[in-house]
Chain A
């Protein structure tokens, strides 16, 4: 186990290296002063109450989708189908919401959340089951499932679930204003943020203080040992993948019930992919996911400002994320090498 200092210093180094690399790209390709760009990014992300609210609103789905990678990662699985689980969860939530839209709002919201979580959970559990019982690589299958999810969404919003009134942007029927989940009092940030933080805390407590969580750690450490101990590995794989998928499905429900009011192509805007990055940056630690998601939500929120003020392409944000991702992964190699371990006297 690395020291606490190391756990802060290594990611900080990676962050610094990414900032320098992106700065070079800005200076030499885009001819933009990197310091000005970083200043603007700070402003756009955390510079004012308004930008903070924007950042937190974007962080909410990131927290939830990150759990979709983080939970199975505990078992040593690399799931990257977060976007797909979010999309099917969102469509299922919208369909369920429209079906029961005349019920009291709280019931509608509950039904939507359950539908989104159930479908998202099954979606990722399927990838886990394929891994466990067919030996299919879960990374590739979960990403393929994402493409299938997006195709299914297009099919449903253009066909069976389409609201004929939505002309330019095919969508499902709206769930109704009364059924939208509101904002946290005193802010413009919707309740999805709270859902995410609570989910992370619950997962953390589970992993930390239950035998179930300990068993997951054993399986992640060495599946053979776990099997010899008599652990039913398959059950844990299904549950971890299902719970992760449910979190991403809930993210889809939140996007529908708090922002869009209906399901359409706006569901697939990349929260799922960024969620993978969040999980890796947080080293799959549920508590670390919250601040990392806020940081990346901030980078996302600053994209608009960069585009308006410096005329940078909107993909600038993706480049930052990509550099950061690769740098953080490469920095894994530094653990235990920055400081020589003390000689045993």
Chain B
């Protein structure tokens, strides 16, 4: 069977495949950022963390031969970047949005600087679970190649939603985000809570980056990320700070990102670049539709400056 035999059905199928494949970094970054923002801090620098995670994960996987060690290290590097961001933002009078932009520049620059030697060699790939064994159509089989990280990301989204709602730790994070006074009243340290929440958010973004370099597209180069880290931050706002909604939104974005290659694969090449802007246009449109100037957004953490 060749590509054309599915006809136009190839487009929705490729979009489904894209939703699963392309969405994974979105899931990790947005669920992590969701936690960070729930604690009352915004980290715009996750784009830089993502690229650092992609680079370090690739480098370690290359050196050790184990892609999973790469994922682990990428998470660790992300943790450090998150902690650095949190530490700087904790200083009085330092603007967290501007610092995020700085960290974005620093992270991508450092990743390109340190990652120069990894552009040529090929690191081992993370494996995938074959869920399409029942089908004889190669496109379906390909679409249902599900990476382990996708599954982990889905589980994490639900686990995060549960933990935020039901655990003592989740309560403290929410308090730090909703009202510093209330958090202080129960004796929780706002600074420490935000440090931990931002670090974990960074670690998630690092893992999301490792997915990019170790599975799909599965190589390291300077054009690897096209703003996924940033879109994921916008996505959290659209998802109203709910990890599970972050998951659905990520899937939607993955599908939007797959439109352009999917159309190309069935022979529609006109407007390739216009369709490639689809995820950004979608993000912007959703933000326009869901934001409102009169009231702060439903579900928005009270201490979060960026949405006021």
Contacts and interface: CB of A to CB of B under 8 A. Distances in A.
B218 interface: no
A315 B113 contact: yes
Given A147-B280, A329-B94, A137 B287 contact: yes
Given A140-B234, A280-B98, A319-B113, A325 B106 contact: yes
Main secondary structure of the interface of A (DSSP, over half): helix
A133 B284 contact: no
B205 to A, nearest CB: 16
Contacts of B93: 332-333, 335
A314 B119 CA distance: 14
A144 B283 contact: yes
Contact of B273 (A158, A319, A320, A330): A158
Contacts of A330: 88, 91, 94, 99
A238 to B, nearest CB: 14
A78 B307 CA distance: 13
Interface in A144-175: 144-145, 147-148, 151-152, 154-155, 158-159
Nearest to B111: A315
A143 B237 contact: no
Nearest to A277: B105
Interface residues of A, number: 49
Nearest to B110: A319
A143 B292 contact: no
Given A135-B291, A316-B113, A333-B92, A148 B277 contact: yes
B287 A136 contact: yes
Nearest to A326: B102
Main secondary structure of the interface of B (DSSP, over half): helix
A258 to B, nearest CB: 26
A322 B106 contact: yes
Interface string A309-330: 0001111111111110110111
B271 interface: yes
B274 A155 contact: yes
A322 B110 contact: yes
A153 B186 CA distance: 54
B258 to A, nearest CB: 15
Contacts of A217: none
B276 A151 contact: yes
Contact of A329 (B95, B107, B227): B95
A133 B287 contact: no
A313 B287 CA distance: 38
B273 A326 contact: no
B43 interface: no
Contact of A151 (B114, B233, B273): B273
Given A315-B109, A322-B106, A141 B284 contact: yes
Contacts of A319: 106, 109-110, 113
B193 interface: no
Contacts of A329: 88, 94-95, 98-99, 102
B255 interface: no
Interface of A: 25, 29, 78, 80, 130, 132-137, 139-141, 143-145, 147-148, 151-152, 154-155, 158-159, 273, 276-277, 280, 312-323, 325-326, 328-330, 332-333, 335
26 contacts: A25-B113, A78-B101, A80-B101, A130-B287, A133-B293, A134-B291, A137-B234, A137-B237, A140-B44, A143-B227, A145-B284, A148-B280, A151-B277, A152-B273, A152-B274, A159-B270, A313-B112, A315-B113, A318-B112, A319-B106, A319-B110, A321-B109, A322-B103, A329-B102, A330-B88, A333-B93
Q: Which 10 A-B pairs have the closest CB atoms?
A: A322-B106, A318-B109, A315-B112, A151-B277, A325-B102, A135-B293, A333-B91, A155-B273, A154-B273, A313-B116
Given A78-B97, A148-B277, A318-B105, 8 more contacts: A78-B98, A139-B101, A151-B280, A321-B109, A322-B103, A322-B110, A330-B91, A333-B92
